[in-house]
Structure formats: structure tokens, C-alpha cells
Structure 1
Amino acid sequence: MKSINWRVRLKNKNFWVTFIPAMMMLVQVILSIFGYSFEVEKVQGKLLDLVDAVFTVLVIVGVINDPTTVGLSDSKAAMEYSQPK
């Protein structure tokens, strides 16, 4: 049973606005585990903090969450969409 209409979700601009920063944060965390650090200078470190904060807010907005339904599933109507509304 499909609970998310991924074909339509991938066509939605809001999905990509939140998905890309989430993936960049994931890459940053994984690289830091292996000892790679993005901080080169103090100014760049502060800029990185600002970018991280913006990415965090975008992720909080929701990558796959449909706020019009309960839980993470799409509604029956959304499952029948062929384009985002």
C-alpha cells in the first residue's frame, strides 16, 4: 500500500527547497565524523553557522510532511494528483 505519492512530491518545488538543505546537512555531519571540518577562518565559521541555521529552518518546515493530513501519509485525493496543486 502506497502512503505517499512520490511522483507528485518530487515535482513540488517546496520539497526540493527543504530536501537539498537536509542532504547538505547530512553530508556535513558525515564528513565531520571522518575529521573533515568546514571552518577555515572565524568569518567563514560564522557564515557557516548562518547557513546551518537557515538549512535547519528549511528542514523544520518539512521535507515530506503533508500538513493537511494526519501523520506522514498523503490523503486519498493527493494520491490521485498528477501535478502538485
Structure 2
Amino acid sequence: MINWKVRFRNRNWVIAFISQLLIVAQLVLAALNSLHITDFQLTDAIQSNIIALANAVFVLLSMLGLVQDPTTKGYGDSDRALKYEDPN
């Protein structure tokens, strides 16, 4: 179980989450366009710029250690983190 209330109070986690949402949004738009569900199409120039920007933000956040929590094993929160009321 993930403690979302604490995560959304953590500014660094929110920044990483938003960068990942941008990547997912781009992939969804590309999929909808390839299935001819929508006519919205990103040009190659705009698409490569968006990918480059999102990748740069994501790599920077990963290098700073803000994307993964090195104190827990796997992707879940530790028992201690689940009891937080505020980010520790």
C-alpha cells in the first residue's frame, strides 16, 4: 500500500511524478493517433523536443536520487514510511 498523502506533500516526488506523466501522455497521444481515434498529431520536431525535455528532467531527477527511494526494497513503501503523517 502506498501512502499517497505523504508522497504528494513531498515536492521532489511530485516533480518526478509530473515528468513521468508527461511521458505517458505523449505515448497515449501517439497511440490514439496511430489507431486513428484522434486527428491530433505532434510533428516530428515538436515530438523530439518534448521527448528530449522530458528525458532530461527525468535523468536529472534520477541522478539526484529523487525518483527512487533507496531505503526500501522494491517499489513499495516500508512499514515505517506508511506511518508518516508528513514527509520525513
Using the TM superposition, name which of 13-22 and 72-81 deviates more. 72-81
Secondary structure of the residue that 1:34 maps to in structure 2?
A: helix
Q: Which contiguous aligned blocks of 4+ residues in structure 1 show a shift greater than 6 angstroms?
A: none
What TM-score does the superposition give when structure 2 sets the normalisation length?
0.66
Q: In 1, are the aligned partners of 2:7 and 2:87 still within 8 Å (CA)?
A: yes
Deviation at 1:24, TM superposition (A): 1.2
RMSD (CA atoms):
2.6
What TM-score does the superposition give when structure 1 sets the normalisation length?
0.68
- Would you say how many aligned residue pairs link Structure 1 and Structure 2? 79
Q: How does 1:2-17 map to 2 (within 5 A)?
A: 3-17=1-15
The one-letter code sitting in structure 1 at the alignment partner of 2:10 is: N
Question: Once the two structures are aligned, what percentage of the paired residues are identical?
Answer: 29
Q: How does 1:49-60 map to 2 (within 5 A)?
A: 49-57=51-59, 60=62
Q: How does 1:2-81 map to 2 (within 5 A)?
A: 3-35=1-33, 36-39=40-43, 42=45, 44=46, 47-57=49-59, 60=62, 62=67, 65-81=68-84
Where does structure 2 lack aligned partners over 5 or more consecutive residues?
34-39
Where does structure 1 lack aligned partners over 5 or more consecutive residues?
none
